[in-house]
Amino acid sequence: MGTLPFTVALVLLLMRCAAVCLAIPKSNFTDESALLAFKKYITHDPSKSITSNWSAVTPFCHWLGVTCSARHQRVAALDLSNLDLKGTIPPHVGNLSFLVSFDLSTNSLHGNIPSELSKLQRLKSLNLSNNLLTGTIPVSLYNVTSLENLYLENNRLQGILTEQISNLSSLKKLALGSNMFSGTVPLAIFNMTSLQAVSIPLNNLSGSLQEKICNHQSKLQWLDISQNQLSGEIRSDFYNCKELEIIALDTNSFTGTIPREFGNCTKLKSLYLGGNNLKGEIPREILSPANLELLSLEFNTLRGSLPREIGLSPSLRTLYMDRINLTGTIPKEIGNCSLLEEIYLGNNSLTGTIPHEISNLHNLRVLRLGLNNMVGTIPSEIFNFTTMNMIELTRNHFSGHLPSSMGLMLPNLQEVYLSGNNLSGPIPDTICNASQLVQLILSNNSFSGFIPDCLGNLSNLQYLDFEYNVLMSRHSPSGLSFISSLTNCRTLLSLWIGKNPLHGSLPISIGNLSSSLQSFTAHNCNIQGRIPDEIGNLNNLFELNLKGNELVGAIPSTIGQLRQLQALTLAQNKLEGYIPQEICDLERLAFLYLEGNGLVGSIPDCFGNLKSIRSLILASNRFSGSIPSTLWGLQDILQVDLSSNSLNGSLPLEIRNLVVMTAMDISRNQISGAIPNSIGDLQDLVNLSLSGNRLQGIIPASFGKMVSLELLDLSGNNLSGEIPMSMQNLTHLRYFNVCFNQLHGEIPNEGPFANFSIQSFLGNNEFCGAARLQVPPCKGRNSRSSKAPGMIVLRYILPAITSTLFLLVLIVIILRCRRRNAKRQAQEDLPSLATWKRISRRELELATDGFQESNLLGTGSFGSVYKGTLPDGLNIAVKVFNLQHEAAFTSFDTECEVLRNLRHRNLVTIISSCSNLDFKALVLKFMPNLTLEKWLYSDNHCLDIVQRLNIMRDVAAALEYLHYGYIKPVVHCDLKPTNVLLDEHMVAHLSDFGIAKLLGEGDSMTQTMTLATIGYMAPEYGSEGSVSIRGDVYSFGILLMETYTRKKPTDEMFAGGMSLKTWVKQSLPNAVIEVADANLLTQEEEFVRNSDCVTSILELALECSANSPEERKDMKQVLAALEKIKKELTNRIHNRNRH
């Protein structure tokens, strides 16, 4: 009886095993087929990891990256990460039904995420990060309830994150950063009780942060929604998230104050709130979490001082508080944070001294206190921290001496920035023991004594700046001894020692300096002797400045070997002899300054080969002979000064070739002959001086065409005839001098001549004109008129003219009435401008103190802009149009039309207008940070790489709206830094629509006679007058280049074949450091990151500024590209801050 059940059980077990054995091959075949299908979809496998390894001759469980389950021999894990694979993910992977872990991260896979992944109901971990995937997250993927880890960051995914994500009930880690997701953060995420980490930075998420997100989040440890477009106040109950260790809300648009409830997150380690619009004081409570290691509040508009409670944060390691308007002093309690490694408190308004308690911070690596108002001495203990990597204290008011032991205890120090203080005393020789130093910047202080001769011990040194001090060199028969020492610094890039009383000669060892040296400035240093021939060995030098010394002898011909040289300044020395012909070999030379020497001979004919030259300054020498004819062929030269020499000959007709010339001075020479009529073609010329020569003949009437002239000096010649009345059209003329010639006749009295006195006309023959000029009145020009012709005019001609004029006036009135009716009808559909204020001219005069010059913000082509304050306290900018300029009426009407109808966050806001017969003004929102131009070129301001990117993104958004967001495209036509205004939050607003064009329906292009700004103007605009939205794209490309190179397109360095665009193009992709603004590439840890970003931006700029309009991107594409670049940059910043 007992054996029967056992037998039955045994039979059943054997049948079960047989069934399983029969089933395994079929299942195995399914997995193998899915893997082979995956292989077929791979188009690039550089390491042959799949194409060679995955073969049917080998069991698939042994294939690379494949892990099978021991029991069923089914694929349980597939890891093909970091193989640089290209291709797509096939739907067949959905057949790997036993898959638990799937990792394809860090490849170059593209295409969509297959919806078939939803069939993997055993899947716990899916990692597709760091690829090129597009499309949306398949909704079906949210049905894989077993999923615990979902990593999709750093792709190109888009769409809205739906509430269905909460179906992933087992999810622990969600990483969706660096994509293009939009919409709001779904509240459902915060109902998922299993979540431990949520990371969605670098997307386009918007809206406000929901309240009570921590009600169900008992396990949440990491929350990162930084670098999105979230707004509103931070009101959430983070204190209920008891396990939170990292909160990252930085680089959004959050407003309001910092919630003090953050202090209740007892396990908090890192709090990132930087790059928002937060206000108020720093709540002391946020410093109370005992585990807090990192606090990031930089780039907000906070107020108040650094709380003393910072001393209650024993675990604090990193403090980011740059540019948050901090005032007061640094509390001494900071010395209690014994683990502090990085302190960033730069660009605030801190006062007082550096507390000596900082000497307790023995782990300090970075101390950044630059751009504050701090005083006192620098504690010597700072220079004894063996961990110190960077000391940055620029532009404060620190005084005292550097400690004599500086450098002895700094084995890791790489960067020292102490410029712009009141430091004095010697530079200690012990600095040479800091063997890792890369940058030593001590300029603009009062250091004295000798420059250490041991600087050559700093073998890693790249940047040395001692300019504007009182330093000397030790006496040596061979010359400046410290230069010989520096020959051991083989990576030296820049050596700046100008404005120091060095008192010595240049040693021949200067030729042994680093072959990488790019910039050498030693101006105003009392250097004597000759320029060594060996200087020609510095074959990568692009700037050489020896101005204002006591150099003698000839210019060495070896300078012609410096083929990379762009700027050569040897002015104000005692150089003699001829200009060596070899200088003409410097094909990249843009600036040549040789004035104030004793050079002789003729100007070399070969100067015509310097196609890149922009400024040629040879004044105050002893040059003779005629001006070489080749000089008139330099069509891109901007500035020529040949004054105070002994040049002779005449001015040729070919002078008309210098069409972009802005300044020419040939005064005090022996030039003779007539002024050619062709000089009138120089319509960009601003300053022209031909005084003190032997010119004869008349003043050409073509001078009236030189519309840019501001200064004209023709004094001290033998000119005759009358002053042309056409010169009354030179509206910008501010200085005019024709004294001591042989001119006669009527002195013009209109236009700029209304402002000139008799001092401009002395020493001539018989002038006549207005009584204020103290000359006789002019007699009637036609005294021979008779009565008979007058009667004919009165009787026959005058009535005919009167009738014609009456008819024309009647037609104009009818047309205007029709236009007004049509305009009124069109405006009925426009939104009412209820927000406009009615403001009278009198109110504007009161608001601006009578348009006083102290309130003048700037002057443009058609008017001036003043700052004002209305009685209700509202700050305004008042743009007053100059109605003496005929085009101002059109400009006012155009700007009213554009600003009244358009509304966008990045366009300047109009408050009101004021218009009558003799006064027209626009009342605009005041922008406290003024213009991008100011921030780019002011010594007191510096935009970091993120700020520049945000500003350019704002401008791109404004243009995208103008081109595509209104009922008809609007072309701005005049994009440049002065027309980009910055509000209190550094948000950019596009302004000045005075020459904008509205394209009609169906129009893609129109014609114009209104010129935009030279340098930013698209080629088709200037040559054909063709205006289209693609012209704005070109201007935006130039603006991008200028913003990241800090070089204007009209900068003096650009000439000949060299322009801003070609200069940038030649630097890409491997030499971006040569063109990028040096302020962006100063920090070593940021160098690679920032240079990669600048490279991407400049490549985009070149695509925007293609010569052919059809080859340019549109602003939708440009905006998307900038968003992507921004995400990549902030992701790298984000990752660096996490470590």
Which residues are designated catalytic?
974
Query: Exposure pattern of 777-798 as b/e (b: 16+ CB <10 Å)?
Result: eeeeeeeeeeeeeeeeeeeeee
Contact yes or no for 282/310 (Cβ under 8 A): no
Contact yes or no for 980/957 (Cβ under 8 A): no
CA distances from 196 to 150, 189, 837 (A): 12, 11, 53
- Residue 939 CB neighbour total at 10 angstroms: 7
Distance, CA of 431 to CA of 405 (rounded, Å)? 8
Contact yes or no for 657/680 (Cβ under 8 A): no
Contact yes or no for 627/648 (Cβ under 8 A): no
Distance, CA of 189 to CA of 205 (rounded, Å)? 14
CA distances from 607 to 541, 633, 634 (A): 20, 10, 9
Task: Give 1088: exposed, middle or buried? Use CB within 10 Å, 0-12, 13-18, 19+.
Answer: exposed
Reduced to 3 states (helix: H, G, I; strand: E, B; else coil), residue 342 is strand
Residues 6+ apart with CB under 8 A from 589: 565, 566, 567, 568, 583, 610, 612, 613
Distance, CA of 520 to CA of 195 (rounded, Å)? 58
Contact yes or no for 982/931 (Cβ under 8 A): yes
Instruction: Determine if the peptide bond prior to 1069 is cis (ω within 30°).
Output: yes
Distance, CA of 424 to CA of 56 (rounded, Å)? 78
Distance, CA of 873 to CA of 181 (rounded, Å)? 41
Per-residue H/E/C for 1041-1054:
HHHHHCCCCCCCCC
H-helix or E-strand spanning residue 886:
none
Contact yes or no for 1066/542 (Cβ under 8 A): no
925 marked as part of a ligand binding site: no
Indicate the DSSP class of residue 1113: P
The size of the chain, in residues, is 1139
Query: Exposure pattern of 122-132 as b/e (b: 16+ CB <10 Å)?
Result: bbbbbbbbbbe
Largest CA distance in the chain: 157
Contact yes or no for 1067/1074 (Cβ under 8 A): yes
Distance, CA of 17 to CA of 742 (rounded, Å)? 123
CA distances from 849 to 846, 852, 879, 928 (A): 5, 6, 15, 18
Indicate the DSSP class of residue 313: -
CA distances from 247 to 207, 311, 875, 879 (A): 18, 21, 37, 45
- Residue 940 CB neighbour total at 10 angstroms: 8
Torsion of the alpha carbons at 930, 934, 940 and 942, rounded to the nearest 10: 100
Task: Give 743: exposed, middle or buried? Use CB within 10 Å, 0-12, 13-18, 19+.
Answer: buried
Distance, CA of 334 to CA of 1112 (rounded, Å)? 54
Of 599, 619, 589, the closest CA to residue 553 belongs to: 599
* Binding site feature residues for ATP: 879
* Binding site feature residues: 879
